[in-house]
């Protein structure tokens, strides 16, 4: 069995990385604490936020919208019948509004924000993959969104990851 090693990369500050650092310390797990200086960040960061502050805000808002829906999924419901009922109600009452909102925002463009991929497109794909397990065909009445999902899957590095990742239900 090989030893696992962990690398935590964050800015040279406590911030959001401090809790994981505490957890590693508490558990007695060694990790590499990689710190990035603010001045170095632009050369490291991949441009997935859009090409303006407005585009960045739009991408963030779309991700938040998808996340709001995802948080409504009754992941921890132990009773399978109740879980199925709650999922059915969620996909009947909330999913159509979510899909209409996303489709309206996408319009006739290829990507959700601007003229190139953003993290909102990637997150939409991640969410739709999960939603499709819970409700196959849930987005079939929204062909533009299905096209977006196909375009994300066609990004060479994303396609490579999808082909090589471990197979899991979610």
The catalytic residues are 10, 16, 75
CB 76 within 8 A of CB 51: no
Q: Which residues contact 145 (CB under 8 A, 6 or more apart)?
A: 99, 102, 103, 106, 124, 128, 139
Q: Which residues contact 95 (CB under 8 A, 6 or more apart)?
A: 69, 131, 135, 138
How is residue 20 written in tokens?
């994981």
Give the closest residue to 79 by CA, choosing from 68, 91, 87, 89: 87
Give the closest residue to 128 by CA, choosing from 144, 108, 109, 117: 144
């Amino acid at each position: 069995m090989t030893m696992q090693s962990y690398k935590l990369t964050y800015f040279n500050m406590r911030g959001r990385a401090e809790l994981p650092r505490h957890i590693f310390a508490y558990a007695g797990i060694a990790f590499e604490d990689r710190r990035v200086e603010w001045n170095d960040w632009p050369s490291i960061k991949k441009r997935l936020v859009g090409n303006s502050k407005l585009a960045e805000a739009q991408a963030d808002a779309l991700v938040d919208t998808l996340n709001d829906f995802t948080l409504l999924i009754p992941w921890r419901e132990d009773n399978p019948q109740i879980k199925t009922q709650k999922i059915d109600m969620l996909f009947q009452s909330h999913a159509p509004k979510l899909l209409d909102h996303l489709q309206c925002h996408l319009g006739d463009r290829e990507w959700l924000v601007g003229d190139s991929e953003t993290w909102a497109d990637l997150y939409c794909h991640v969410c739709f993959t999960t939603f499709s397990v819970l409700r196959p065909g849930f987005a079939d009445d929204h062909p533009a969104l299905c096209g977006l999902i196909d375009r994300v899957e066609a990004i060479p590095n994303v396609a490579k990851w999808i082909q090589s990742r471990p197979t899991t239900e979610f």
